[in-house]
Copies of this chain bind each other. A is one copy, B any other.
Amino acid sequence: MIFESKILPRYAETDQMGVVHHSVYAIWYEQARTDFLNAIGFPYDKIEELGIMTPIVALESKYYKPAHYNEEVKIQTKFIQFTPVKFIIKYHLYNPQNELINMGTTTLTWVNKKNFKIVNIKKEFPDIFNKLITYVESDKSE
Contacts and interface: CB of A to CB of B under 8 A. Distances in A.
A31 interface: yes
A38 interface: yes
A11 to B, nearest CB: 5
A69 B19 CA distance: 16
A55 B22 contact: yes
Contacts of A92: none
Interface size class of A (residues with CB under 8 A): 35 or more
B62 A58 contact: yes
The dominant DSSP class at the A interface is: mixed
Interface in A3-57: 8, 10-12, 14-19, 21-24, 26-27, 30-31, 34, 38, 43-45, 48, 53, 55-57
A128 B92 CA distance: 35
Contacts of A63: 55-59
Interface of A: 8, 10-12, 14-19, 21-24, 26-27, 30-31, 34, 38, 43-45, 48, 53, 55-63, 66, 68-71, 116
